[in-house]
Amino acid sequence: MGDSFQAAELTDAVAQARAADGYAGEVLRSDLLSVGLYLLPAGGADDQSPHNEDEVYYAVSGRAKLRVGDEDHPVQAGTLLFVPALAVHFFHDIEEELVLVVFWAPPEKSVQPKGLSRS
């Protein structure tokens, strides 16, 4: 994708995520940032693992809680959340389907854990 102008429509990203089991990665991507879309159904489970990159979530719609470490944070439409690299976190008590725009810096999967080579 590179560092040229890019554009995406939220409805298209939601459709991509629905077709890909809830996550559309690289909706937009540059050398310094990537953007994805994450969907979690009401009553669903979020089984993600910590990431090697910082993340910012923007809740487009839905209601749930985000646990970071041992703290819970309410999530609703309009909530912005920053999760630092390697922090244990997951969404839970999902009352209404969550539609989350995820911003990664640096881009998702661009940082490898120490001791592992990039494949």
What domains appear along the chain, each with residue ranges and CATH number? 10-105 (2.60.120.10)
12 backbone φψ class: left, alpha, beta (φ>0; ψ -120 to 50): alpha
Determine contact, residues 35/17, Cβ cutoff 8 Å. Answer: no
What distance in Å separates the CA atoms of residue 90 and residue 76, rounded to the nearest whole number?
A: 15
pTM of the model as a whole? 0.89
pLDDT digits (tens, 9 = 90+) for 86-101: 999 999 999 999 999 9
SS3 42: coil
SS3 116: coil
pLDDT digits (tens, 9 = 90+) for 25-80: 999 999 999 999 999 999 999 999 999 999 999 999 999 999 999 999 999 999 99
Q: Which pairs with CB-CB distance under 8 Å and at least 24 residues apart come from 15-23?
A: none
User: Which pair of tokens denotes residue 76?
Assistant: 């609703």
Please give the radius of gyration of the chain, using alpha carbons only, rounded to the nearest integer.
14
